[in-house]
Structure 1
Amino acid sequence: MVTAQEPGTTAAEAVEVLREALTAAGIVLPSPGADLASPGLNLITLGRVRAGVALRLADAIRWGRS
């Protein structure tokens, strides 16, 4: 499994790790993916979400902090 500490992680790998973590938190983003327009930058697009999903995401981040 890829973690945040592993250098050289591709955007596609990071999307899968993110998708798994969000699913575990009960959050579904409709269209995360690797940004194909800028492969050299290794960017990820998260897509648009409804306000309720954004609030659940904020809660997951807030409560996940140590």
Structure 2
Amino acid sequence: MRSTVIKLREADDVSRRLRAALAHVDVLLPSLRVDLSSCTDTLTEPLLDLGRCNIATAERLIAALAEEG
């Protein structure tokens, strides 16, 4: 079983990589963060809270995903 600290580090690393990947396609999710309570749960994997974004950001995210599809 992974410790809370290890789970938190892994989630933080993924969060940073996701933020960088989104920035590469000009998408900023200001509320993107690690859900800390999920890192302490022994039954689930850590979760990222993608948070809220405005419509323009959602449109950029849709466009970026469509380019990859």
Q: Report how many aligned residue pairs link the two structures.
A: 58
Find out whether 1:50 has 2:54 as its counterpart. Answer: yes
* Deviation of 1:21 (Å): 0.5
Pairs within 5 Å for 1:1-66: 10-39=10-39, 40=41, 41-65=45-69
What is the RMSD of the two structures over their aligned residues, measured on CA atoms? 1.7
Q: 4+ residue stretches of structure 1 with deviation over 6 A?
A: none
The one-letter amino acid of 1:17's match is R
Secondary structure of 1:34's partner? strand
Q: Which amino acid in the other structure matches residue 52 of structure 1?
A: A
Tell me the alpha carbon deviations over residues 8-55 of structure 1, each in whole angstroms, 9 at most, x when there is no partner: 882111111101101111111111111012114210001100011011
Kindly indicate which of the two structures has a greater share of residues assigned to helix.
2
Q: Normalising by the residue count of structure 1, what TM-score does the alignment of the two structures yield? A: 0.77
Identity of aligned residues (%): 33
The TM-score, its normalising length taken from structure 2, stands at: 0.74
- Greater length-normalized contact order (CA 8 Å, ≥ 6 residues apart): 2
Q: Which runs of 5+ in 2 are unaligned?
A: 1-6
Q: Show structure 1 runs of 5+ residues with no match.
A: 1-7
